[in-house]
Amino acid sequence: MTTGHTMRRLARLNTIPIYKNKGEDALIIYLEDALSVFLEYTHRSEDPGDLVDSLVCDIAKFKINKEGAEGMKMAADGEMKRDWGQEIGLPSELTARMKMYRRVVGSGASPRI
């Protein structure tokens, strides 16, 4: 089910030509997957809306850019080398941004958003 939040985020991704070429259906799948990652990591059950648009889009962009690199340990393109090691998850920059939205499970505390 595509929500207004997803459509707003889709419009944001569509402003970047490289992502626009992926097609709307594919981008929606990436955005929904990115939202799922966010909700699971932050222990939330509902989308906080426009407060996390940028973050959800960045998670989706990371997943799109990572496409095809699964299982690779190292790649070289001319002078540029990338070493992924065993890391499969999100980069620390994205997880650090998600931490501020994280709920403590079972605390009974009210959410910040």
Q: Are 19 and 13 in contact (CB under 8 A)?
A: yes
Structural domain harbouring 26: 4-99
**Which residue blocks in 1-74 are alpha helix, DSSP H?**
4-13, 17-20, 24-42, 53-66
Query: Does residue 105 belong to any structural domain of this protein?
Result: no
Query: Does residue 9 belong to any structural domain of this protein?
Result: yes
Please give the structure tokens belonging to residue 64.
């799109």
Task: State phi, psi for 42 to the nearest 5 degrees.
Answer: -95, 0
Q: How many domains does the chain have?
A: 1
Supply the pTM of this predicted model: 0.74
How far apart are the C-alpha atoms of 94 and 86, rounded to whole Å?
18
Q: Are 22 and 4 in contact (CB under 8 A)?
A: no
Query: Does residue 91 belong to any structural domain of this protein?
Result: yes
Torsion of CA 72, 77, 80, 84, to 10 degrees: -10
Query: Does residue 109 belong to any structural domain of this protein?
Result: no
- Read off the pLDDT of residues 52-104 as tens digits, 9 standing for 90 and up: 999 999 999 999 988 765 545 555 555 545 554 444 489 999 999 999 999 88
